[in-house]
Structure 1
């Protein structure tokens, strides 16, 4: 994750110097970013992720679970993980759900086109992850394209901001880094629990269950804020 601060700096320089816009416009067209909405996204994704993916893995494959008894190392690792993961997930959201979507809207503002374009571009770099090789098309399609690609960009287009997606992305990654980590995965960490085997079918089924629960919590439990203009519109406004 050491490269993500530089990635974030590159996005900032491109938006501020080339496009002459605040970085905030990749998140929302409002005057201020809603951290409450980010928190809603975090809770809405983390709760079903933990209950479905975490407990599901434990119930079906209990022998693959192990507890990290080295709590001193875990405690030292927590602040580093929180900071670096927040930078990584926010940077990816700014780029894939913000910059890419707004840029693609110049070509065609159709929501279906924007969602698919963003999801495909988000999936491509994740093909290098060990999970993609281990899980094959199930992981690539359900885990990356649908679960963490398409759903988050659709939510961003509907919500008019990337706030929910920023919270959900952080919840997804920090859960896998601090709570339940997979041995041999893209990031190996001293999490509270470690899973020794990756089961692609369970992962795909989990995604299909998590998505509707995430949407229900985000829009039924927390309700829906008054939507700002769609995120791709802010670019047009600034260029008038």
Structure 2
């Protein structure tokens, strides 16, 4: 019902185009403008001049601001509500958000500890109390909005719009996953590890899309994405990552594209899907992921509150 519920409202399909086209155009411009440039040196120069916390704010704040733009557009241009953009439930389920955030935070902390103790020479202690506290506050204020922007754009605005336009679920699922991966193509990790890292980015987008369609809402995706970026940024940084921060640890190992890139996509994400499926009693996977967006009778749609 996550996509189907929109049939209750007379939404102009063309109204779904401006925000994705503007954002993807901005990403394309950024990729072309930085192609061939030494982005690592540019970032190092920015950090040297302004400090890591200021550089972090400059890089993340615009994406956090875009979250507000998406919500404003949804409410005042499309005459929609945040609830409908988020979930098919009568109200946003914060317990789902916190559960997803908690479980992925724990997994992230455990895997970081395993990496640290199995190869301590790959890390250096990076903790500076004053700088870390400032970064912690900035990260807590900005990263949840940054990740929410990406979720509301890809799993919300774009997935619902494509679902209404194509009357399918698999097209928005796969297309938003691919576009989510392409959004990261200008990240320093791609330059260091090669295009193979796109398997991880696209795979993550696919995982988040499956969460959204199977659970009939974005709550689990919102919690996971926030935990992934926030906890990850607080724990570990490196000289070749998109976020270079005052984290607890710094990864000083030589980056390489190994089988570890595939572990989340092939092993961890399927396990998480199994856990969520058991907890929230998911069923009818084929219909929810590959079925058509069927027209609902008026009385069925009227039962969904706006």
TM-score normalised by the shorter chain: which range applies?
0.7 to 0.9
Q: Unaligned 5+ residue runs, structure 1?
A: none
Partner-residue secondary structure (3-state), 2:145: helix
TM-score (norm 1): 0.85
The offset of 1:91, in angstroms, is 1.0
* Aligned 8 A contact 1:44 1:218 in 2: no
- 1:98 is matched with 156
- 2:261 is matched with 204
* Aligned 8 A contact 1:182 1:196 in 2: yes
- 1:178 is matched with 234
- Counterpart Cα distance in 1 of 2:244 and 2:224: 21
- Structure showing greater relative contact order (alpha-carbon pairs closer than 8 Å, 6 or more residues apart): 1
- Counterpart Cα distance in 2 of 1:12 and 1:43: 25
- 1:43 is matched with 102
**Does 2:72 correspond to 1:20?**
no
The offset of 1:35, in angstroms, is 0.9
Q: Structure 1, residues 41-78: CA drift from partner, whole Å, max 9, x if none?
A: 112322333333x2453355431211124122212221
The RMSD of aligned alpha carbons is 2.5
Q: Structure 1, residues 173-216: CA drift from partner, whole Å, max 9, x if none?
A: 01221012232211100111111233431541431332133223
The offset of 1:5, in angstroms, is 3.4
TM-score (norm 2): 0.68
- Counterpart Cα distance in 2 of 1:167 and 1:69: 26
Give the direction of change, closer, same or farther, for the CA distance of 1:191–1:204 in structure 2 (3 Å limit). Answer: same
Q: Unaligned 5+ residue runs, structure 2?
A: 1-59
* Aligned 8 A contact 1:156 1:165 in 2: yes
Q: Structure 1, residues 120-167: CA drift from partner, whole Å, max 9, x if none?
A: 1111110000111222232111x2000x21001111100000000000
- 1:145 is matched with 202
Partner-residue secondary structure (3-state), 2:100: helix
Equivalent position to 1:219, from 277, 282, 306:
277
Higher Cα Rg, which structure: 2
Partner-residue secondary structure (3-state), 1:2: helix
- 2:246 is matched with 190
Give the direction of change, closer, same or farther, for the CA distance of 1:191–1:69 in structure 2 (3 Å limit). Answer: closer
Across the two proteins, how many residue pairs are aligned to each other? 229
Give the direction of change, closer, same or farther, for the CA distance of 1:42–1:130 in structure 2 (3 Å limit). Answer: same
